[in-house]
A and B are shown apart, each in its own frame.
Chain A
Amino acid sequence: MIVLQAMVDGLSLGALYALIAVGYTVVYGIIQLINFAHGEVFMVGAFGSMTVWLLVPGQQLGLWMLPIMLIGGMVASVAIALLMERVAYRPLRNSPRLAPLITAIGVSVFLQEFVRLFYGRIPGFPDAKANVTFPTIEGVTGTAIKLGGLDIDRPTIFTLAALIVCTVFLYLFVNKSRIGRAMQATSQDPDTARLMGINVDRIIMIAFAVGAVLAAIAGTAQGMMNTNINFKMGFIAGLKAFSAAVLGGIGNIWGALVGGLVIGVLESLATQVMPHGSAWKDVWAFVVLILILVFRPQGLLGARVVDRA
């Protein structure tokens, strides 16, 4: 029973990681850049939906608020992701590998601090230096649903549903739409894609935007799951999502989804089954990350790009 319960908890964690991991993987697939600051896009998404909730008068908690909040989060995180791409990464596209990675660390620290320092300065907004309590939207938060001895948290249901919907949309987008096919072409061979009349800069921006949209959904979901958000929520979540992306095979969108779920379930099981699991669970997660990077850098489903020199 406890193992089953752990699986359920793990699936909801994993769905979060999966949603974030897609962001790493699409960007990587196209420009071979590890967007280290993607965790912060996720964080900004959570704060974006929080902001929208605060702006709607009367502290509404009805389920109809959820889509509005999601859109708010998406706007915020897409804006940040595009700004980041334009200002920090694009000028460095042809410099040595080290440069964008260090830039990414800088962007990451900057965004965390910016939110920490200035979010609470807006009149009527809570101080973001400590945890910010996330609104408890009716229906998707509240007492867990009992299902044959299992407790299924309501946010879990929302997160899993979001993951399924996103997967379907992502599939249609990548395989059926013109832009999606242009993305595939660019990822296979950017130079030829450019010759074929594809605006590569635009494709890269779209890749960042797609990642940001999913990250915003994950941010809102985590807000409801943990009942609070804070400025540093992106760091560890980002690292684990990156592990998920690598586990699935970086550059491979479906790999990121599978990898996320696997990492989430493993983490949850490690907490329950391993001795002193809750203290060491992050250590196990990182050990898994290192082992994958060393022994199977192409991931479970295989990445398109294997040579990581």
Chain B
Amino acid sequence: MRKHRLAVAGAAFIALSLTATACGTRSDNTNAGTGGATQDKTAKIGVIAPLTGDLAPLGLGIKNSVDLAVKQANQNHTIPGWTLELDAQDDQATPATGQNAATTLAGDDDVIGVVGTLNSSVAQTVQPVLNNAKIVEVSPANTGVALTKGEDAANPKRPYANYFRTCTTDDIQGPFAARYLFQDKGLKQVATINDKKTYGAGLVASFETEFKKLGGKIVSHQTINPDDTNFSPVISKVQGAHPQAIYYGGEYPQAGPLSNQAKSAGLDVPVMGGDGIYDPAYIKQAGSKSDGDLATSVGAPADTLPSAKSFVDAYAKAGYKDPYAAYGAYSYDAANAIINALKTSLASADDAKSARQATIDAVGKVDFDGATGHVSFDQYGDATSRVLTVYAVKGGQWAAVKTGEFK
């Protein structure tokens, strides 16, 4: 008997609590919360960049610059009836993490375009995922040639139709540096060192081809492991070949100490690199003897170009914690390329997902003046602008030496 009573009491209690729940205010409240008159539809622009780790300063610059472009578009109601949002994902500069980030973005129906990535190696894994989902990807920083022209350099074939970039590529940057060293500086003997990553190896390869074509001599070709910190064996080897300059393919975390150690070891020749070493951190790590070291970077210097002025000012006004760094202006242009495309692709769309293909088509046709100059894409998705600048370290700062268009 007692057993039954317990059971009844228990059942009654549960029934009571369920009733109490049913009468709860939850359902009413949620309705009231979303009750707006005419709600804007949402489209998201993703960012895939290293937000943590060694390269975070560059990645955060990308993220903030895209954020700025998105905020401006919302403020000016560039796309009527739509609100844009930013969805930044960290790729930690590793391909596998980048791929997860891409899958996350592809799984979100609101995502319509992605700005990124920083590293060419990460782009390789991100491209196919986004292409499957028909999401347009505009990179501000990938300089790897194969990303737009395929593996076979002689027979360029665009691997992914959704991929565009606002920066120039290694096959322009390397030769540009080669011509500067050979023609402007008159150096005939150069040693090259690279970190064997997509970016570094590609840069050095295109540099060497051009330099030899001009009549110069590559006296030593060395590689380092990206996680090395002591380069003295490599430096000794290079030193024996008596180069007039060292061309380094890679990024500043290795390039800085390399330059510093080379000069300490008595190898007092300029070190030159690509946009991967064009960063204030390079000078800090390369030390006081780095004066005269050189770097090429894509586009004209951001703070001298009149079209860049408004970007630099707006960025400063927005009060971001991190500087826009090397790729800020390119990211801003990349985001604006997408936003410009959205003007046409979203105009008659019901939701973001259905407008993805139209956006890819529209990005291919954009044509406007951005922070880095004129923005438009050729049939491979590469930027049509091929302006580059050589910078040199002077008194602890990067100073522009020569800006020119590569032909």
Which A residues fall within an 8 A CB radius of B?
A: 1-2, 5-6, 9, 12-13, 129-131, 133, 136, 141-144, 146, 151, 153-154, 222, 225-228, 230, 232-233, 236, 267-268, 271-272, 276-279, 281-282
Assuming the A-B contacts A5-B236, A146-B266, A271-B237, are A227 and B260 also in contact, with contact meaning beta carbons closer than 8 angstroms in the complex? Answer: yes
- Whether the Cβ atoms of B234 and A278 lie closer than 8 Å is yes
Q: Is chain B's binding surface mostly helix, strand, loop or mixed?
A: helix
B344 within 8 A of A: no
User: A25 CA to B94 CA in the complex, in Å?
Assistant: 36
Taking CB as reference atom, which chain B residue is nearest A223? B229
The listed residue (B52, B234, B239, B264) touching A129 by CB distance below 8 A is B52
Min Cβ gap A81→B in Å is 22
**CB-defined contacts of B225 to chain A, threshold 8 Å:** 278-279, 282
Instruction: Note all chain B residues with C-beta closer than 8 A to A143.
Output: 263-264, 266
Q: Give complex CA distance A5, B240 in Å.
A: 10
Q: Say whether A2 contacts B287, CB under 8 Å.
A: no
Please tell me if the beta carbons of A9 and B237 are within 8 angstroms of each other in the complex.
Answer: no
Docked-complex contact A279 and B236, CB < 8 angstroms: no
List of A residues within 8 angstroms of B285 by Cβ: 131, 133, 227-228
B224 close to A (CB within 8 Å): yes
Cβ-based interface call for B18 (8 A): no
Known contacts: A131-B253, A227-B287. The answer to whether A272 contacts B223 by CB under 8 A is: no
Apart from A226-B257, A278-B237, what 9 extra A-B contacts exist at CB < 8 Å?
A: A2-B237, A142-B264, A143-B264, A222-B229, A226-B261, A227-B260, A277-B233, A278-B222, A281-B233
Specify which of A9, A13, A142, A222 lies most central, judged by the most chain B CB atoms within 10 Å of its CB: A9
Q: Which B residues fall within an 8 A CB radius of A? A: 52-54, 56, 196, 222-225, 227, 229-234, 236-237, 239-240, 253, 256-257, 260-261, 263-266, 281, 284-285, 287-288
Q: Which residues of B contact A5 (CB under 8 A)?
A: 236, 240
- 13 A-B pairs within 8 Å (CB atoms) are namely A9-B236, A12-B232, A129-B52, A130-B54, A131-B253, A131-B256, A133-B256, A136-B288, A144-B266, A267-B233, A278-B223, A278-B224, A279-B225
In the complex, what residue of chain A is closest to B222 when comparing beta carbons? A278
* Chain B residues, CB < 8 A from A154: 264
Residues of A within 8 A of B232 (CB): 9, 12-13, 153, 225
Q: Which of B222, B236, B253, B261 meets A130, CB within 8 Å?
A: B253
State the CA gap A277–B284 with chains docked (Å): 29
| Smallest CB gap from A132: residue in B | B285
The CA-CA distance from A146 to B264 in the complex, in Å, is 12
Q: Give complex CA distance A230, B253 in Å.
A: 10
The 4 closest A-B pairs by CB, nearest first: A271-B233, A227-B260, A226-B229, A144-B266
Q: How far is the CB of B367 from chain A (nearest CB, A)?
A: 38
Cβ distance B35 to chain A, nearest Cβ, rounded Å: 44
Nearest chain A residue, comparing its CB with the CB of B57: A130
- Cα A154 to Cα B263 in complex, Å, equals 12
Q: Which of B52, B229, B263, B265 contacts A230 (CB 8 A)?
A: B229
Q: Say how far A282's CB is from chain B's closest CB, in angstroms.
A: 7
CA distance A281 to B264 in the complex (A): 23
Smallest beta-carbon distance B396→chain A, Å: 13
Q: Is the CB–CB distance between B266 and A136 below 8 Å?
A: no
Chain B nearest CB from A228 CB (Å) reads 5
Complex-state Cα separation, A6 to B237, whole angstroms: 9
Smallest CB–CB gap between B285 and chain A, Å?
Answer: 5
- Measured in the bound complex, the distance between the Cα atoms of B285 and A232 in whole Å is 17
Whether the Cβ atoms of A228 and B229 lie closer than 8 Å is yes
Whether A129 touches B237, Cβ cut-off 8 Å, given contacts A151-B266, A228-B257, is no
Assuming the contacts A6-B236, A227-B285, asked whether A151 and B265 have C-beta atoms less than 8 A apart, the reply is: yes
